[in-house]
Amino acid sequence: MPHFQPNAHYVRELTRYGILAAHGRDAADSLDPYALDQAYWRSLWWVPETDGDAGSAAAAGTQEGCE
**49 within a domain of the structure (yes/no):** no
**53 within a domain of the structure (yes/no):** no
pTM for this model (two decimals):
0.57
Q: Are 6 and 31 in contact (CB under 8 A)?
A: yes
Q: How many domains does the chain have?
A: 1
**66 within a domain of the structure (yes/no):** no
**Average confidence (pLDDT) over 4-33:** 79
**33 within a domain of the structure (yes/no):** yes
Checking if the pLDDT of 4 tops 90, the result is no
**39 within a domain of the structure (yes/no):** yes
**56 within a domain of the structure (yes/no):** no
Closest by CA to 19, choosing from 3, 4, 33, is 33
Checking if the pLDDT of 38 tops 90, the result is yes
CA distance 44 to 64: 25
